[in-house]
Chain A
Amino acid sequence: DAGITQSPRYKITETGRQVTLMCHQTWSHSYMFWYRQDLGHGLRLIYYSAAADITDKGEVPDGYVVSRSKTENFPLTLESATRSQTSVYFCASSESLGTANTGELFFGEGSRLTVL
């Protein structure tokens, strides 16, 4: 099906373990984003990517790593999970952003991560 999908939808892990959250979009959008959503903080940008092999830090990048070898995939890795990374993670994509004709931002359903 067309759209943006995240996996896993729910994940429980332990402190210190590596976790990878997957994001796949079928629109061939250039831009992809990872946000985390926490009570009291709202949605905060972790990393974003303007195209394959082009990524950059957002507001809260510490403790996270991203890669984008293919346009359609944008995985987010927590190299050594901490309890403060317990959150709901949202992936998003956009056809264009930062130009005169910017596109809408489309979100996945979210991945709920609990770090014990």
Chain B
Amino acid sequence: KQEVTQIPAALSVPEGENLVLNCSFTDSAIYNLQWFRQDPGKGLTSLLLIQSSQREQTSGRLNASLDKSSGRSTLYIAASQPGDSATYLCAATAILNQAGTALIFGKGTTLSVSS
């Protein structure tokens, strides 16, 4: 059974810092891993998608890495800004009933960037 864990649960940093959010998953037989952002009271926005054959993906100040063998992914945010304040969720694919597939989510890391 796929389980996804995110550490830390909350993080506060001053503006300009580089930071790393961690995600671990128990079943390494994943098809992909996605990072999402969620603002309070809003839906989820996809940030980065890493296919199982890839090691990392980059979008602007965001870089996500994937190490399937160790069951880990990290989201690196460079030069953090107050607008980055949100909850960041990691999700890994899981094989469900009779080969159905879905994303299983971690509980998220709530980031607060102060100016």
Contact A102-B102, Cβ < 8 Å, known A43-B89, A107-B44: no
Please state if B97 and A57 are interface contacts (CB–CB under 8 Å).
yes
- A-B contacts, CB under 8 A, total: 74
Name A58's contact: one of B42, B53, B96 (CB within 8 Å). Answer: B96
B interface residues, how many (CB within 8 angstroms) = 30
Name A98's contact: one of B43, B53, B100 (CB within 8 Å). Answer: B100
Q: How far is the CB of B30 from chain A (nearest CB, A)?
A: 9
Residues of B57-98 contacting chain A, CB below 8 A: 89, 91, 93, 95-98
Q: Residues of A contacting B101 with CB < 8 Å?
A: 97-98
Please state if B96 and A48 are interface contacts (CB–CB under 8 Å).
yes
Interface: B51 (CB within 8 A): yes
A-B contacts, 23 of them at CB < 8 A, read A33-B103, A35-B105, A42-B108, A43-B89, A43-B105, A45-B104, A56-B97, A56-B100, A59-B104, A90-B43, A97-B31, A97-B93, A97-B101, A98-B31, A98-B95, A98-B101, A100-B51, A101-B51, A102-B51, A104-B34, A105-B34, A106-B46, A109-B43
Please state if A105 and B46 are interface contacts (CB–CB under 8 Å).
yes
What 1/0 mask marks residues of chain B from 40 to 60 whose CB sits below 8 Å from any chain A CB? 001111100101110000000
Please state if A50 and B107 are interface contacts (CB–CB under 8 Å).
no
Name B102's contact: one of A48, A107, A108 (CB within 8 Å). Answer: A48
Give CA–CA (A42, B32) in the complex, Å. Answer: 20
Name A102's contact: one of B89, B93, B105, B106 (CB within 8 Å). Answer: B93
Instruction: Add 9 more A-B contacts to A59-B104, A105-B91, A106-B46 (CB < 8 A).
Output: A48-B100, A58-B102, A98-B99, A98-B101, A100-B52, A101-B51, A102-B31, A107-B43, A108-B43
Name B42's contact: one of A48, A92, A99, A109 (CB within 8 Å). Answer: A109
Please state if B98 and A56 are interface contacts (CB–CB under 8 Å).
yes
Q: How far is the CB of B24 from chain A (nearest CB, A)?
A: 14
Q: Residues of A contacting B100 with CB < 8 Å?
A: 48, 50, 56, 98
